């Protein structure tokens, strides 16, 4: 069991719940969703509870993440996009905390489940569509018609734009999911080499040094990826929201 790199993604029921024949059990995935929210919300809540004019360390971190996302959103979607700040900030903090919690041994990685990342991506695209049509009506369709395209090429370009728009939720969700999944599998495989090699006696222990070094290096890399994917998710969210705020305004 210890050497199975897939086992870490298995979902186990903790409290079985079934409503109308559908399984809504509280599982280890649910537990770590709760843990993610509790950790992120708890940190942000207690870090800012002093409301210090001169921030302490925790408050500095909270302020930095706030300003990080705020400047990202302002650059990506302009000042009109700032009304989506709570959404982008929540997404970023949720994904970042889930990724980081997943780095702990024996912890479940919420974002390694395609359904979770897909749901988040659909939330983003859904927000873009709903706000875009609500705010601009049919003018929102201009998002598919780039300006300055000669008439002959227009159908082709519009087709490409529509396909690229439709592929957004897929690329957004698969990018995060695949990164988390592949990283954790790789880590597990290399760590598994260490244990199976060292079981082979003195020579094996000597040989296990290489995968051990690899595991340490990969752990560092995975922390980077954990942050980077949360960042990429937030940046792309900002870019997509820009379409909702300024359709055809490229």
Query: Where along the sequence are the contacts to another protein (CB under 8 A)?
Result: 1, 3-7, 9-13, 16-17, 22-27, 29-30, 33-34, 36-37, 40-41, 44-45, 48, 51-53, 55, 59, 62-63, 66-67, 85-87, 89-90, 93-94, 112-116, 119-120, 177, 181-182, 185, 189, 192
Q: DSSP class of residue 15?
A: E
Q: How far is the CB of 157 from another protein (least distance, A)?
A: 34
Q: Which is nearer to another protein, 30 or 242 (CB)?
A: 30
Q: How far is the CB of 87 from another protein (least distance, A)?
A: 7
Q: How far is the CB of 75 from another protein (least distance, A)?
A: 17
Q: Find tokens 């940046």 and name the residue.
A: 235
Return the closest-CA partner of residue 230 out of 104, 98, 103. 98
Q: Which is nearer to another protein, 130 or 182 (CB)?
A: 182
What DSSP assignment string belongs to 148-200?
Answer: T--TTTHHHHHHHHHHHHHHHHHHHHHHHHHHHHHHHHHHHHHHHHHHHHHTT
Q: Which is nearer to another protein, 14 or 216 (CB)?
A: 14
Q: How far is the CB of 24 from another protein (least distance, A)?
A: 5
Q: Which is nearer to another protein, 29 or 194 (CB)?
A: 29
Cα-trace Rg, the chain: 22
Q: How far is the CB of 30 from another protein (least distance, A)?
A: 4
Q: How far is the CB of 181 from another protein (least distance, A)?
A: 6
Residue 133 to residue 130: CA distance in whole angstroms = 5
Cα dihedral: 160, 165, 166, 170 (round 10): 120
How far CA 216 is from CA of 75, 99, 186, 211, in Å, comes to 36, 18, 12, 9
Strand partners for 26: 15
Q: Which two tokens stand for residue 8?
A: 């870490």
Q: Which is nearer to another protein, 50 or 164 (CB)?
A: 50
Q: Which is nearer to another protein, 73 or 143 (CB)?
A: 73
């Amino acid at each position: 069991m210890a050497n199975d790199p897939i086992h870490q993604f298995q979902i186990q029921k903790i409290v079985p719940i079934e409503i109308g024949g559908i399984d809504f059990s509280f599982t280890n995935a649910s537990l770590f969703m709760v843990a993610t929210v509790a950790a992120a919300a708890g940190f942000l809540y207690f870090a800012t509870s002093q409301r210090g004019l001169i921030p302490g360390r925790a408050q500095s971190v909270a302020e930095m993440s706030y300003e990080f996302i705020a400047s990202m959103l302002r650059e990506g979607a302009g000042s009109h996009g700032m009304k989506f700040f709570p959404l982008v900030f929540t997404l970023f903090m949720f994904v970042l905390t889930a990724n980081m919690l997943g780095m702990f041994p024996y912890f479940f990685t919420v974002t390694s489940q395609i359904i979770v990342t897909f749901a988040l991506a659909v939330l983003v695209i859904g927000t873009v569509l709903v706000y875009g049509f609500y705010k601009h009506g049919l003018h929102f369709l201009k998002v598919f018609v780039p300006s300055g395209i000669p008439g002959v090429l227009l159908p082709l370009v519009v087709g490409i734009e529509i396909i690229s728009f439709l592929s957004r939720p897929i690329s957004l969700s698969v990018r995060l999911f695949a990164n988390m999944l592949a990283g954790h599998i790789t880590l597990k495989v290399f760590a598994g080499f260490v244990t199976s090699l060292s079981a082979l006696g003195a020579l094996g222990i000597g040989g296990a040094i290489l995968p051990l070094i690899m595991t340490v290096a990969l752990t560092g890399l995975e922390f980077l990826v954990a942050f980077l994917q949360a960042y990429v998710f937030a940046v792309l969210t900002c870019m997509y929201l820009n379409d909702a705020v300024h359709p055809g305004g490229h």
